[in-house]
Amino acid sequence: MAGVSRRLVTAAAATAVLGSLLAAAPASAAPSIDWKPCADAPGVDCGTVTVPIDWAHPDRGTASIALARRKATDPQARIGSVLMDPGGPGGPGAGEVKGGWSLSPEITKRFDTVGFDPRGVGDSTQIKCGLDEVIADHPEVPRNQAEFDQLAAYNRKLGDSCNKLSGPLGQFGDTVSVARDMDAIRAALGEKKLTYYGVSYGTLMGQQYAELFPDKVRALVLDSNMDHSQVTAFEFLNSETQSVQAEFGEFVAWCGRTPGCALHGRDVSKLTRDLQDKAARGELKDPQSGEAVTPLSLAGIFQGSFYGPSWDRLASVLKSFADGTPPAASAQLKEDIPVNNVFQSVFCDDWKLPVHNYAELEAYRRTAAALAPDVKVNSLGWQAVTGCIGWPNKASNPQHPLQVHGAPPLLMLSSKYDPATPYAWSQAAARQSGSTLLTYDGWGHGAYGKNSQCVIKATDDYLISGKLPPRGTHCAAVEPGTPEARVAGPKPPAAIGF
Higher per-residue confidence, 74 vs 335: 74
Specify whether the CB–CB gap between 274 and 293 falls below 8 A.
no
Going along the chain from its start, the domains and CATH numbers come out as 38-127+174-229+404-478 (3.40.50.1820)
**pLDDT of res. 46:** 98
**pLDDT of res. 341:** 79
Instruction: Write b or e for each residue in 45-67: b if 16 or more Cβ atoms lie within 10 A of its Cβ, otherwise e.
Output: bbbbbebbbbbeeeeeeebebbb
pLDDT at 23 over 90: no
Q: Give the pLDDT band of residue 18 (cuts 50, 70, 90).
A: very low
Q: Give the pLDDT band of residue 154 (cuts 50, 70, 90).
A: very high
Q: Give the pLDDT band of residue 30 (cuts 50, 70, 90).
A: low
User: pLDDT by residue (tens digit) across 44-100?
Assistant: 999 999 999 999 999 989 999 999 999 999 999 999 999 999 998 989 999 999 999
Phi, psi angles (nearest 5°) of residue 462: -70, -45
How crowded is residue 325: how many other Cβ atoms within 10 Å of its Cβ?
Answer: 11
**pLDDT of res. 19:** 34
Apex CA 181: angle with CA 178 and CA 187, to 5°? 150
**pLDDT of res. 135:** 86
**pLDDT of res. 328:** 66
User: pLDDT by residue (tens digit) across 452-464?
Assistant: 999 999 999 999 9
pLDDT at 337 over 70: no
CA–CA gap between residue 59 and residue 56 (Å, rounded): 9
**pLDDT of res. 377:** 94
Specify whether the CB–CB gap between 86 and 118 falls below 8 A.
no
3-state DSSP of 166-194: HHHHHHCCCHHHHHHHHHHHHHHHCCCCE
Query: For residue 384, what are the CA distances in angstroms to 13, 279, 350, 440?
Result: 7, 22, 11, 26
- Up-side HSE of residue 300: CA atoms within 13 Å toward CB? 28
User: pLDDT by residue (tens digit) across 409-441?
Assistant: 999 999 999 999 999 999 999 999 999 999 999
Specify whether the CB–CB gap between 397 and 176 falls below 8 A.
yes
Mean pLDDT of 352-371: 96
**pLDDT of res. 355:** 97
CA–CA gap between residue 177 and residue 16 (Å, rounded): 12
CA–CA gap between residue 166 and residue 309 (Å, rounded): 36
Kind of pairing between the strands at 80-85 and 194-199: parallel
Q: Give the pLDDT band of residue 1 (cuts 50, 70, 90).
A: very low
Specify whether the CB–CB gap between 243 and 378 falls below 8 A.
yes
Instruction: Write b or e for each residue in 422-455: b if 16 or more Cβ atoms lie within 10 A of its Cβ, otherwise e.
Output: bbbbbbbbbebbebbbbbbebbbbbbbbbbbebb
**pLDDT of res. 330:** 53
User: pLDDT by residue (tens digit) across 176-234?
Assistant: 999 999 999 999 999 999 999 999 999 999 999 999 999 999 999 999 999 999 999 99
Tell me how long the chain is: 498
Q: Which ranges in 260-357 belong to alpha helices (H)?
A: 268-280, 295-306, 311-323, 343-350
pLDDT at 111 over 80: yes
Rounded to 5, what percent of the chain is helix, strand, coil?
A: 45, 15, 45
User: pLDDT by residue (tens digit) across 380-405?
Assistant: 999 999 999 999 999 999 999 999 99
CA–CA gap between residue 316 and residue 294 (Å, rounded): 18
Q: Give the pLDDT band of residue 332 (cuts 50, 70, 90).
A: low
